[in-house]
Amino acid sequence: MNRIESAFDLTGRVAVVTGAASGIGLETASVLTEAGARVIVSDRDDEATMRAADSLDGAVPFAADVTDRSAVSALADAAESLGPISIWVNSAGVITTRAVVSEMTEEALDLLIGVNLKGTFWGAAEAVRRMTATKTAGSIVNLSSFGGENAVEGLSGYAITKAGVNMLTRTLAKEVGPAGIRVNAVAPGFVETNMVTYQYRDEAGHIDEKRRTAYLEMMASGSPLKRIGTTTDIALAILYLAADASGFTTGQILRPNGGTSMV
């Protein structure tokens, strides 16, 4: 194995991916599997979790709602039955329909905070507890967003959860760096996944193809690369942060966004 291959090789490492039934989480589980990891795929419902695991070689399903701290702990127990946890990717996330601050409902704000912020917090906390106990120099990757650093009208609730994820990432990286544990975030630009289809669904919930094409073109035109991202673009960025290739990188926000924002 040459230096490049070994920097990205995850053979035998146990990796947990939350939100793994769809979109970026599913593609990440697939890429980590290809790199050799033993992946535990987790999503909130049993059937979707099983379906995701069935689509990947050797993946183990474990359904957990990330807003439930004890479920996240049970997920870590299941993962540890395969060996010490080396990688934990917090990809579970939600977005609610756009609402300006003055119109935001309490229900929507609670959901955003519960899944995106508390869910990521509990996942990262559990990963750190397990990695510390097993003295594993692991890697935690949190899904942040372009929206966590750039103000977009109507997305305040989502934005504050992702800004929180960024600060959780930095704080935790300081706390656990001396134990050799790395904590980073990936802040994608726009990727077409289930999460974003609400932008172009009609009243009955069906995708309006005309609106979809116009929306995707608009999102692509805002990027210097003149395209939207793919789930593979993001999963490969996550692979980099999960693997030894990024061994000197912690507390950072990696931004695969086609250059849409340059911080």
Site residues, ligand NAD (CB under 6 A):
18-19, 21-25, 43-44, 65-67, 91-94, 115, 119, 143, 145-146, 188, 190-191, 193-196
State residue 83 phi and psi, 5-degree precision: 140, 175
Comparison of 28 and 136: residue with beta carbon closer to ligand NAD? 28
CB of 92 to ligand NAD, least distance (A): 3
Comparison of 64 and 136: residue with beta carbon closer to ligand NAD? 64
**What is the sign, positive or negative, of the torsion defined by CA atoms of 155, 87, 191, 45?**
negative
The verdict on whether 158 is a catalytic residue reads yes
CB of 120 to ligand NAD, least distance (A): 8
CB distance 256 to 186 below 8 Å: yes
Comparison of 110 and 175: residue with beta carbon closer to ligand NAD? 110
Comparison of 60 and 115: residue with beta carbon closer to ligand NAD? 115
Instruction: Give the pair of three-digit tokens for residue 36.
Output: 């050799």
CB distance 207 to 201 below 8 Å: yes
CB of 192 to ligand NAD, least distance (A): 7
Edge-to-edge strand order for the sheet containing 38-42? 60-61, 38-42, 14-18, 85-90, 139-143, 182-186, 253-254
Report residue 170 CA to chain centroid gap. 16
Gap between the Cα atoms of 11 and 5, Å rounded? 11
Gap between the Cα atoms of 164 and 147, Å rounded? 11
Of 66, 57, 112, 55, the closest CA to residue 88 belongs to: 66
- H or E stretch at 231: helix 231-242
CB of 59 to ligand NAD, least distance (A): 14
User: What sections of 87-190 are H helices per DSSP?
Assistant: 106-112, 120-133, 156-176
CB of 215 to ligand NAD, least distance (A): 12
Gap between the Cα atoms of 172 and 257, Å rounded? 24
Catalytic sites, residue numbers: 158
